[in-house]
Amino acid sequence: MFYSLRHPGALAVTLAAAGILMVTMGTRQSFGLFISPMTTTTGMSIATISFALAIGQFTWGLVQPVAGAVADRYGPRVVLIAALLTLAAGCAVTPFMGTGFGLMVSLGVLASIGSGAGSFSVLIGAAAQRLPLESRGAASGLINAGGSFGQFVAAPVFQKLIQSVGWMGAMWAMALTAVLALPLVSRLVGSRSGAQPPVAGEKKMRTAVAEAVRDRNYILLNLGFFTCGFHIAFLVTHLPGEVGLCGLPPSVASWSLAIIGLANIFGSIYAGSCVARYRSKYVLAVMYGSRAVLIAWYLMMPRDPWVFYVFAAGIGFTWLATVPPTAALVGKLFGIRYLATLFGLTLLSHQTGGFLGAWLGGVAITEFGDFTWMWYADMVLALLAAIVNLPIKEAQVRQPA
């Protein structure tokens, strides 16, 4: 794994990108922990707060192709600096928001724009521009693992802060963390302040995007990634509520989220290594299929802490480990020149599913009193995602001699 990052400076670039993702993903994946205390202190309903977070899921995806296009055109430095500052601003003003509309502005728009612009599409694209071909698969896995490590660390830390200094103090701590990550931007982009210089005969961005959105393989890839977003947003937003329905303490939820993050560190690194050995579409099909099996197992088991922890470990292994093979497929199909833009569009599909996962979870608990129908929807979508990836026309992986 790390041998492929032996190129001078490759590991430093990769770790800087992973560190930024650790902050942006660790922050946004912990927002679900704030639903219960915010409901208690503000009087807003779970459905209202869930809708604001659902707006955030969609906004996070919507900003990905925009941020990717800006980074491809002007370079990633300005995008990443603006991202971290916007994330900090969104978290900092949230305690002053006492209405659903206010939460939509702070968490649904500001914090989500910041975390989205400082996420996968820009980071993986920026790293790919500075890494040789043989290092990119391993790098994407390690960068992705940084986001998972952020969730592993952030969930229990912010849960503890909520209990000790209140949810407002914990939100301000999030803002400070985003500001402290700013020095990592220079380590990632180095002395480059702009985008890659154009190459003679190179396609324009508009042409590359138009070709991609008409490509059947790209459409199938996006459909599968939609399901990934649905799963993740539902769980990260409503797992604390599911734990509460089972009569278990909030610590079970925070530790479950932490275990998901820890398991995905290993899952992401493993997925990065699989990209170099197997066709990415098969890696994705296995991941999505395994989720259906895990959810069926969870529904058949008694609701005790260890069931949540085992489920978290299993689902966590594939949590965002879908990112390396998905990014690799986009790169294989269309090259890396506009990888940040095209992968950003794929992440928009992911977060369209994320919007529905977060919002419909709130609707389900309000209308039916539990999340049963959401779990069933999760299983069906996981099976469909496994199936739609199989027809993608992907070249065989060339094994080293």
pLDDT in tens, 39-59: 888 888 888 888 888 888 788
pTM passes above 0.85: no
Average pLDDT, the chain: 85
Per-domain boundaries in the chain: 2-188+205-389
Measure the CA angle with vertex 174, ends 21 and 96; round to 5°: 135
User: What is the CATH topology of the domain spanning 2-188+205-389?
Assistant: Growth Hormone; Chain: A; (1.20.1250)
pLDDT bracket for residue 202 (50, 70, 90): low
High-pLDDT (> 90) share of the chain, %: 33
Name the residue among 39, 64, 65, 41 with its Cα closest to residue 52.
39
Q: Position of tokens 């521009």?
A: 129
Neighbours of 386 (CB within 10 A): 20
Average pLDDT over residues 362-381: 90
Q: pLDDT tens for residues 325-362?
A: 898 888 888 877 777 788 888 888 888 898 888 889 88
Q: Is the per-residue pLDDT at 191 higher than 70?
A: no
CA distance 355 to 50: 10
Specify whether the CB–CB gap between 108 and 55 falls below 8 A.
yes
CA distance 363 to 237: 12
Q: Is the per-residue pLDDT at 200 higher than 50?
A: no
pLDDT value at residue 197: 53
DSSP state of 204: P
DSSP state of 119: S
Q: Is the per-residue pLDDT at 2 higher than 80?
A: no
Q: Is the per-residue pLDDT at 398 higher than 70?
A: no
pLDDT bracket for residue 198 (50, 70, 90): low
Q: Is the per-residue pLDDT at 196 higher than 60?
A: no
Specify whether the CB–CB gap between 341 and 168 falls below 8 A.
no
Average pLDDT over residues 83-109: 93
pLDDT bracket for residue 171 (50, 70, 90): very high
CA distance 360 to 363: 5
Average pLDDT over residues 68-82: 88
pLDDT value at residue 291: 93
